[in-house]
Copies of this chain bind each other. A is one copy, B any other.
């Protein structure tokens, strides 16, 4: 009953096998080998346009390097108040950009409000005594609270960004889950809706370590190659990332894994809704389920071996929390089984 995080899982056997397949042989280093270039082309096919791909160490590094590539003097990146970059990445963005910062923008259930975005940009860039220079807008897809932006939502945010001449970044640590949830194409979810670059994450969805910055708009992120080099993240044997992505994209493995995680989360959500001892905090849309449980119930589940964490009450939460109740997060991964969910359900029912 491992629901603590999707990064507690291992890797899919196909990915492991592909790493073994590419273990031998000689290849040009630093991401310029044959396999590397084939994988870059595969990204272009997936996104239906020429893209630039930069492998990086982690999702946090992908976000921070993306921001650094759009950096301005006194730079301000607009993000949702609960964005991972704002509340979970230990100042990486400020460090990578030499002091740029995030300005939090509110919005219900993890989704930035276009109106609030417009207001925040105006506030921080007023003529007199400015806070700095707005430099970018960033959204997370799927969001930190398990919800998903629709293509219309993204277009509305992109419209505000464009009006203020700001590039739009997507933190796609769980991009596969968002695609699986909406069944729009990767192109529609990103550049066709105004996204200029994405932190594309495979690590939470069945890879060992496969994170990349993918650039759609060639006007944006021009310095990424050099920023990555200065950051010590130009991998010599880049094949070990390429081999993972090669398998990831083969026969839609990435979407199959994400669909499994989403479906398992949906089953978990139903299980919780059906249980007398719990209820959903809000409707899950991807692979994360937020439930309201009595603290005593949560402790009983944990004592029985279920792994999951308490979560803070997000902005825009309009439900009711009883005195002894709290919100708990349950995450399903490619490896989570129906059996695990059902065991949790049995405990909840008991």
Using CB atoms, name the residue of chain B closest to A237: B208
Q: A20 and B20: CB pair below 8 A?
A: yes
A23 in complex: contacting residue of B13, B58, B73, B229, CB < 8 Å = B13
Query: For the complex formed by this chain, how many copies does it contain in all?
Result: 4
Q: How large is the interface on A (under 10, 10 to 19, 20 to 34, 35 or more residues)?
A: 35 or more
Tell me how far the C-beta of A15 lies from the nearest C-beta in chain B, rounded to whole angstroms: 8
Q: A90 and B240: CB pair below 8 A?
A: no
Mark the stretch among A93-101, A250-258, A291-299 that contacts chain B.
Answer: A93-101
Q: What sequence of 0s and 1s flags, for each residue 60-98 of chain A, a beta carbon within 8 Å of any chain B beta carbon?
A: 111110000000011110000000101111111111111
Q: Does A335 contact B (CB under 8 A)?
A: yes
A91 in complex: contacting residue of B7, B24, B84, B132, CB < 8 Å = B132
Q: A236 and B91: CB pair below 8 A?
A: no
Interfacial chain B residues near A230, Cβ < 8 Å: 73-74, 90-92, 95, 99, 132
Tell me how far the C-beta of A27 lies from the nearest C-beta in chain B, rounded to whole angstroms: 6
Known pairs A10-B237, A24-B10, A240-B209; A129 contacts B88 (CB<8 A): yes
Interfacial chain B residues near A209, Cβ < 8 Å: 209, 235-237, 240
Q: In the complex, given contacts A10-B24, A92-B229, what are 19 additional A-B residue pairs having Cβ atoms less than 8 angstroms apart? A: A7-B236, A10-B26, A10-B237, A13-B24, A16-B19, A57-B57, A57-B61, A58-B232, A73-B90, A74-B229, A89-B232, A91-B230, A92-B230, A95-B230, A97-B99, A98-B99, A203-B237, A209-B209, A209-B236
